[in-house]
């Protein structure tokens, strides 16, 4: 089914996608104002998600950044509970790396799920179709990665495009993420450069909801390594 997804989402053109830049808007339950979204990714394991106050706005908004640079994940403007608060720096770093890579996987699964497989860091297992509920007949692919279980990717039985990624509660996590699934939902797929790309991604975790509305993609831009560092702007 992953290869059907690859063909439906762009085939060889999707396989050739090695970097992208996406911009748009971000709304979150806990933040009262809309923020601007800026996301970049470079194959195989470089990722940065930046949400900040919209340019020219006079209303303050917290800036949060989630980054992955090879085997290290980090966050700015957000603090984890659970193991993320450990005084053992190695334990805390593992918690941040796992959370950042889960965010990366949640977004990449909708934009280019084969990217994860082609990176050599993730595996996919066929779980068959969903047999009941709103996602009945959607095909299930279990994803495992460097931190263990990533989640179940549901693929639409008719379009063969990603519908939803259901991530289990994070071991060693804190707050709602430690007890409730994190669900990414992908919609508003539109063609661009031979690809089918989602324009809306919704992440839900208990009462917490984030909506990423993507207005523009740049495909295969040159993204130097320094843009994925903690100090990059």
Flag whether 54 is in a domain: yes
Flag whether 26 is in a domain: yes
Percentage above 90 pLDDT, the chain? 88
Flag whether 84 is in a domain: yes
Flag whether 75 is in a domain: yes
Flag whether 23 is in a domain: yes
Spatial distance between the Cα atoms of 11 and 162, rounded to a whole number of angstroms: 14
Flag whether 102 is in a domain: yes
Spatial distance between the Cα atoms of 79 and 89, rounded to a whole number of angstroms: 14
Determine if residue 99 is left, alpha or beta; phi over 0 gives left, psi from -120 to 50 gives alpha, anything else beta: alpha
- How many domains does the chain divide into? 1
Model confidence pLDDT, tens digit, residues 211-228: 999 999 999 999 999 999
Flag whether 233 is in a domain: no
How distant is the alpha carbon of residue 204 from its chain centre?
12
Q: What is the pTM of this model?
A: 0.95
| CATH number of the domain residue 144 falls in | 2.50.20.10
Model confidence pLDDT, tens digit, residues 28-74: 998 888 999 999 999 999 999 999 988 766 667 789 999 999 899 99
Which residue range(s) make up the domain with 63? 2-228
């Amino acid at each position: 089914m992953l290869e059907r997804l690859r063909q439906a989402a762009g085939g060889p053109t999707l396989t050739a996608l090695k970097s992208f830049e996406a911009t748009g808007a971000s709304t979150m339950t806990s933040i009262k104002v809309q923020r601007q979204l800026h996301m970049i990714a470079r194959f195989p394991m470089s990722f940065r998600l930046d949400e900040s106050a919209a340019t020219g706005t006079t209303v303050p908004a917290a800036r949060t950044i989630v980054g992955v640079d090879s085997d290290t994940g980090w966050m700015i403007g957000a603090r984890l509970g659970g193991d993320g608060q450990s005084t053992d720096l190695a334990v805390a770093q593992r918690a941040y790396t796992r959370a950042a890579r889960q965010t990366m996987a949640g977004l990449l699964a909708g934009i280019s799920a084969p990217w994860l497989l082609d990176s050599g860091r993730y595996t996919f297992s066929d779980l068959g179709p969903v047999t009941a509920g709103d996602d009945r007949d959607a095909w299930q692919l279990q994803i495992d990665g460097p931190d263990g279980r990533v989640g179940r990717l549901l693929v639409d039985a008719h379009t063969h495009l990603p519908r939803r990624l259901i991530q289990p509660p994070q071991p060693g996590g804190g707050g709602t993420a430690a007890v409730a699934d994190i669900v990414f939902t992908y919609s508003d797929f539109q063609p661009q450069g031979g690809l089918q790309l989602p324009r809306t991604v919704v992440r839900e975790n208990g009462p917490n909801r984030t909506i990423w509305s993507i207005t523009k993609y740049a495909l295969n831009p040159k993204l130097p390594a320094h843009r994925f560092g903690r100090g990059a702007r």
